[in-house]
């Protein structure tokens, strides 16, 4: 399919609230291509108590691994490497869509890419009390940033959708372990073979799943490349483990796209650019744009602890070890809520070295049950689940596979697994804030969530 160049009519503009000195960012603009389809309005977060960092047990995890030795490629719009959390971080500038070295950016144009990268690489130093800031999931990983904007000095984004495959190719040429993007890169004729190459090479391809009503391709409910069978499409959940109200649904089209996992993505304390102020630490971020890099960072921690694990085995480890401990699939949560402790607890090399997602969740459940752990690394799927080699579609999961992917054993409700074996059980409904694409963000909620 042929997609048009993204040329946003207008950039994000900010309305600053004066009551009690609180600020709410209201970003708006027209829809366009290549945009983070799931970055919701940014609201002020009091202090730097990052619930997602605590809920995933990252303080304990970082005593074992920080992602050292793992290479992550981040594809986004623009980045400011001088942002407080990224000063001294293990982040280098890669190439833009023209093949030139990425030019540093600043301001609202850089806020999405900088926020995404900080969730992986943040040093913990920022603008919060005592100079504290956001510490990323995998600060020891080597991150290379690839930009879909070759000229940060102007407002429009410079890459045509038909050119974005070049960013994937450039990333592949640097031999990363993981590629993550929170942009909708499209899925045209040039992109398809590059995505296939990444999956064939066993690279873990992580993408945001998108947002209801904010898609690049008409009739498709999820964003690319996350929607491609074999990629890890990430949904967003709130601090109580409840699915974000704006998560997209699976779709059945020229391919069948299915969500894979749910990561923290609602009111996630991060970094944001405030016009007239600059970078601010602890701002609340919402959308699958932000849950995707958290999942990518989590996979990097596992790879660092178990360096012999292949990309395929990392994906096996991810889907077999949700917080519930149950191996099932649900269209609201994918295979469940991300669990850092479960993924780090066992060696992924015991799983077959096969990407379990390439034929969809039903095939994954049938071909790679829990008992497949310890089977031959080259284990082949059963004939009943196999598809034509030329097919790009995933199997449509039936209702029996949707039972309890994200539920706790006792209460039947989703939970995040907290450190020391404790869990937090859901008590209320999840937040409902609208989000959309970079350069076209709009808001239906200026809600502020504060932490003590």
Tokens of 294: 């958290």
Instruction: Region of 374 please: left (phi>0), alpha (psi -120 to 50) or beta.
Output: left
Instruction: State how far the Cα of 383 lies from the Cα of 387, in Å rounded to an integer.
Output: 8
289, 304, 339, 341: the catalytic one is: 289
- Give the number of other CB atoms < 10 A from CB of residue 279: 25
Q: Which of 268, 270, 275, 296 is nearest to 449 (CA)?
A: 268
| C-alpha closest to that of 55 among 237, 234, 236, 239 | 239
Can you tell me the distance from the alpha carbon of 183 to that of 201, in angstroms, rounded to the nearest whole number?
A: 22
Q: Let me know: does 117 contact 86? Beta carbons within 8 Å.
A: yes
Q: Is 28 a catalytic residue?
A: no
**Residue among 112, 121, 148, 149 flagged as catalytic:** 112
Total residue count of the chain as it appears in this document: 452
Could you tell me the two tokens for 241? 């483990």
Structure tokens at 8: 């946003």
Active site residue 175: no
| Sequence-ordered list of residues with C-beta below 8 angstroms from that of 112, at least 6 positions apart, any chain | 36, 39, 76, 77, 78, 182, 289, 438
Residue indicated by tokens 């992917």: 405
C-alpha 311/C-alpha 98 separation (Å) is: 28
Question: Rounded to the nearest 5°, which phi and psi values hold at 298?
Answer: -65, -40
Question: What are the angstrom distances between the C-alpha of 163 and each of 97, 148, 187, 215?
Answer: 7, 9, 11, 18
**How many whole angstroms separate alpha carbon 223 and alpha carbon 240?**
25
Active-site pick, 76, 158, 267, 330: 76
Contacts of 245 (CB under 8 A, 6+ apart): 430, 431, 432, 433
Whether 62 is a known active-site residue: answer no
Catalytically annotated residues: 76, 112, 289
């Amino acid at each position: 399919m042929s997609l048009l160049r993204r040329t946003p009519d207008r950039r994000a503009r900010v309305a600053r609230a004066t009551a009690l000195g609180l600020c709410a960012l209201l970003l708006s603009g027209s829809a366009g291509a290549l945009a983070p389809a799931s970055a919701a309005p940014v609201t002020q977060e009091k202090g730097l108590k990052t619930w997602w960092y605590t809920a995933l047990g990252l303080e304990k995890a970082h005593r074992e691994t920080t992602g050292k030795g793992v290479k992550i490629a981040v594809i986004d719009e623009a980045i400011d490497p001088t942002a407080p959390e990224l000063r001294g971080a293990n982040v280098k500038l890669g190439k833009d869509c023209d093949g030139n070295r990425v030019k540093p950016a600043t301001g609202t144009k850089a806020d999405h890419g900088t926020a995404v990268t900080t969730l992986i690489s943040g040093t913990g130093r920022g603008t919060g009390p005592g100079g504290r800031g956001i510490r990323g999931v995998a600060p020891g990983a080597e991150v290379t940033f690839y930009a879909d904007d070759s000229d940060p000095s102007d407002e429009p984004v410079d890459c045509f959708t038909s050119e974005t495959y070049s960013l994937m190719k450039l990333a592949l040429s640097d031999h990363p372990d993981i590629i993550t993007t929170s942009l909708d890169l499209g899925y045209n004729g040039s992109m398809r073979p590059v995505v296939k190459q990444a999956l064939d090479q066993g690279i873990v391809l992580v993408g945001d799943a998108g947002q209801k009503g904010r898609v690049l391709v008409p009739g498709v409910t999820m964003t690319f490349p996350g929607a491609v069978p074999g990629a890890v499409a990430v949904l967003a959940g709130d601090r109580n483990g409840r699915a974000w109200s704006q998560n997209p649904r699976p779709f059945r089209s020229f391919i069948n796209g299915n969500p894979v996992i749910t990561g923290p993505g609602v009111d996630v304390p991060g970094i944001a650019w405030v016009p007239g102020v600059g970078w601010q630490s602890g701002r609340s971020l919402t959308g699958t744009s932000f849950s995707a890099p958290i999942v990518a960072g989590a996979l990097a921690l596992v790879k660092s602890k178990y360096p012999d694990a292949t990309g395929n085995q990392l994906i096996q480890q991810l889907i077999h070890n949700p917080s519930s401990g149950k191996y099932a699939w649900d269209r609201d949560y994918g295979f469940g809520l991300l669990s850092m402790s479960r993924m780090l607890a066992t060696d992924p090399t015991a799983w077959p070295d096969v990407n379990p997602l390439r034929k969809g969740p039903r095939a994954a459940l049938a071909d790679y049950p829990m008992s497949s752990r310890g089977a031959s690394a080259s284990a082949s799927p059963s004939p009943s689940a196999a598809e034509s080699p030329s097919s790009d579609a995933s199997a449509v999961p039936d209702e029996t596979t949707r039972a309890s992917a994200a539920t706790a054993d006792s209460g039947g409700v989703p939970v995040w697994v907290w450190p020391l074996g404790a869990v937090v059980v859901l008590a209320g409904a999840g937040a409902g804030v609208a989000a959309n694409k970079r350069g076209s963000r709009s808001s239906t909620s200026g809600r502020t969530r504060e932490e003590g």
